[in-house]
Structure 1
């Protein structure tokens, strides 16, 4: 099956063959680019090229085999199809052993060419998708709260990447446990400020008598008990990022001082008239909808508008339920590694809890549930009940299908993370090889879809 609009590079020194092949590829829905020489084609190829390359073997200057060798250096996963004359078949077979994708012998039927290109394009699509997923995993640096393929999470990651290096203050809105500090941390790490301090302060975790000194610092003798100079959190974040969690709980008097800091980018510690310039980005987090005057309460509107240069809204877990199996599986594996225990088998009660619960504590609550489950503590599941005796039976019947779906999702996730490597996937899932292959067959999962990792044979 062709993939409309995908590019194909065709290289041959025969002008008539180039024209005919271009027409054949266009009719099949591809976007061919033809070149008379290998040198010209190389200029159009990089590691991100989303298509495949079809090249004649015998050409003046660089041969098709030379071109294949150069492409292997650029990207060994880029499919190369060799076009051979009858005398070149042995060379083509040797190239196959060296990693060429396929070869077709002249004269070839249009259908044979398109069939080879279709398969090569399917492989290229899978390779690039696996790279994207691996890159996402690297970008998240193990922050599992950032996992998820729900549209809202994809948009959130893209927006954070887009604004990370922009020198603007950011307001992060989200429910308890939804990952607001994770967002702030990534805004810092993905910015030019990453080499400087990331300083966090929970505005609701300190009494009013302490928070002012914590934020602004003080000089020795500024108040009773101030025996030595203290650098405040704001000054300590100079050059870096200041994260203010639960900003809506900040005392009104401090809101005025913070607004002055944000507007002037200067700080005046307690006990001194010295004004010190600072260079910082502020990321403020809130559970409240500060854009709503009623929800804002005593929070200053001018401070809200000063912080509201960019607002990021984190979706609660109940609004991205499709990510729960992925998150729970990852949390189970991390908890098992942390506690030195095997990854536990999922029970029907636990699965029912995953699907029915609204997760008011969001990702943090799901993480703690996974840790308790790994330790063998009873899941907080409520069995289905009702006056109708058939109700529980119907629920139980549905659970079997849901367990199967969760199991399939977990296997796909592990294969995806391991690049299709069967041995490592079996080790992580902790199942016998034969059981693993039986499950692949039952769920209709093809290992090759997840990369070219080494396979293993069932016992």
Structure 2
């Protein structure tokens, strides 16, 4: 598709000549005779560049340049004038002009200036596109896990994100339901509009209605001005209803209407307002069981449960614990400015063997505490929360309840210690020697003597 150039010049003959020339160069061209018209056209239509005179009858080129840049900072504007003035050039460049040409125009210079300005615009668009793709990738790469359940779940997110389907995210507390809601929104067609989050469990029935739908001034005590609710704030985007299972029955009927009709009414108003939102809800309850008990509306359940994403608990994807622990270790080490390089083998063993009833949130808190408590370069089992270490000790430590040294030769014990520590440090012999409390030379000698497989 040809680049679209807006030419602005109050000299009709010069304007006509420029339009003919630019069309001959293969551009699509539109011409206007004043800066005011140029401002309006830029607001109405997508132009790739603007070629504009300085001196015009109503609104001059410098004023029009400033207002165009306020509306669209990215669009390149090439200024032309018969009055060669350093002051005018400086002012134009300060306001964001891409280039500055003097009349009578040198057509070779004009062609080069336009080509460069369009290359500049293409680069900006490609950069924006790259940023959007990075943002989308980041939303998914922030979901950490290589286990089969997590790979399957990420695949489902990619599939449903680009649709308009209502999503119900289910799972235990602490599994990361909000993280998945953000990933769905970021990878949707609504990503440029807001994702608005509502914690349904934190509000009473009356406050929840006002929070979701807004209220008129004087609708209740303390309503001193009109306020838009979260549905209106999310218009064009997505609304995330966290802990939707906690919504009281009377409010469920009003939420059902909002979802079904995409219409809301502010508290204290009879006026019906249309909203365009995508619904993403989350719950740690079994909503179907709540329906059977009569505490959750069946019709609302089916409206929410168009696509269900079940987030597995951490104990169901235990192989992801080392990945998550390493991720949190890096985050909290940097935040607390502590040069911690990893976990000792025993500490990692304790993390893997714990069942994490609080899921990822509990693991995150445990690693943060460990980073704060750690005195050396590696987190040991002594730095972990008492609940983790008690569970580990009751399970017999890293040897599954069997004696750690009984019946084994010193060589066997040292071999296991060296192999496990090498694995923990990624094969770094200097770090391994430091953790084991021996010199690098002693470590190399033992590796050769015991035939330790360094590549393990």
Indicate the TM-score class for this superposition, using the shorter chain for normalisation.
0.5 to 0.7
Give the Cα–Cα distance (whole angstroms) in 1 for the partners of residues 371 and 251 of structure 2.
44
Alignment pair present for 1:216 and 2:221: no
Distance in structure 1 (CA, Å) of the matches to 2:348 and 2:257? 51
Alpha-carbon distance between aligned partners in 1 of 2:170 and 2:244, rounded to the nearest angstrom = 10
Contact 2:175 2:359 (8 Å CA) reproduced? yes
* Aligned counterpart, 2:277: 280
Alignment check: 8 A CA contact 2:236 2:277 kept: yes
The CA deviation at 1:343 is 1.6
The structure whose RCO (Cα within 8 Å, separation 6+) is larger is: 1
The partner residue of 2:258 within 261, 277, 280 is 261
Indicate if the aligned counterparts of 1:289 and 1:296 stay in contact, CA closer than 8 A.
no
Matched position secondary structure for 1:393:
coil
Structure 1 segment 38-53 matched on structure 2, within 5 A: none
Aligned-pair CA distance for 1:262: 0.8
* Contact 1:248–1:288 under 8 Å retained in 2: yes
Bigger radius of gyration, 1 or 2?
2
TM-aligned CA distance change 1:336 to 1:400, over 3 Å: farther
Q: 2:384 aligns with which of 379, 396, 420?
A: 379
* Distance verdict in 2 for CA 1:198–1:390, change over 3 Å: closer
Change (3 A) 1:293 1:230: closer
Shift of 1:209: 2.9
Indicate conservation of the 8 Å contact 2:171/2:283, yes or no: yes
Question: d(CA) in 2 for partners of 1:290 and 1:399?
Answer: 54
- Secondary structure of the residue aligned to 1:328 is helix
Give the TM-score, by structure 2 length: 0.56
Q: Deviation per CA, 1:327-354: give whole Å up to 9, x if none.
A: 1011101110111111254245533431
SS of structure 2 residue aligned to 1:384: helix
**Structure 2 residue corresponding to 1:332, chosen from 320, 329, 334:** 329
Query: Which of 315, 318, 333 is equivalent to 2:312?
Result: 315
Mapped contact 2:139–2:182 kept (Cα < 8 A) = no
RMSD over aligned Cα atoms: 3.8
Counterpart in 1 of 2:197? 200
Measured in 2, the distance between the counterparts of 1:198 and 1:399 equals 55
Which structure 1 residue ranges, 5 or more long, are not aligned?
A: 1-135, 416-433, 446-459
Equivalent runs, 1:102-117 vs 2, <5 Å: none
Aligned to 1:61: none
Q: How far apart, CA to CA, are the structure 2 residues paired with 1:402 and 1:316?
A: 32
1:362 corresponds, among 330, 353, 359, to: 359
Q: Distance in 2 between matches of 1:294 and 1:399?
A: 59
1:319/1:404 Cα in 2 relative to 1: closer, same or farther (>3 Å)? farther
Write the mapping of 1:223-262 to structure 2, written as runs, cut at 5 A: 223-262=220-259
Secondary structure of the residue aligned to 1:282 is strand
User: Residues 247-300 of structure 1: CA distance to partner in whole angstroms, max 9, x if unpaired?
Assistant: 110011110000001110111111111111111011110001213357765011
After TM superposition, list the pairs within 5 Å mapping 1:11-160 onto structure 2.
139=136, 141=138, 146-160=143-157
Q: Give ranges in structure 2 of 5+ residues lacking alignment.
A: 1-132, 375-382, 429-439
Q: For the residues of structure 1 that align with 2:202 and 2:414, how far apart are their CA atoms? A: 42
Residue 296 to residue 303, structure 1, CA distance change in 2 (3 Å)? farther
Contact 1:247 1:284 in 2 (8 A): yes
CA distance in 2, matches of 1:220, 1:386: 61
State whether structure 2 residue 182 is matched by structure 1 residue 185. yes
What's the counterpart of residue 286 of structure 2? 289
TM-score (normalised: structure 1): 0.56
Q: CA shift at 1:399, angstroms?
A: 13
Provide the rounded CA distance (Å) in 1 between the counterparts of 2:361 and 2:230. Answer: 26
- Structure 2 distance, partners of 1:406, 1:313, is 37
- How many pairs were matched up? 290
| Deviation (angstroms), 1:403 | 9.7
SS of 2:201's equivalent in the other structure is coil
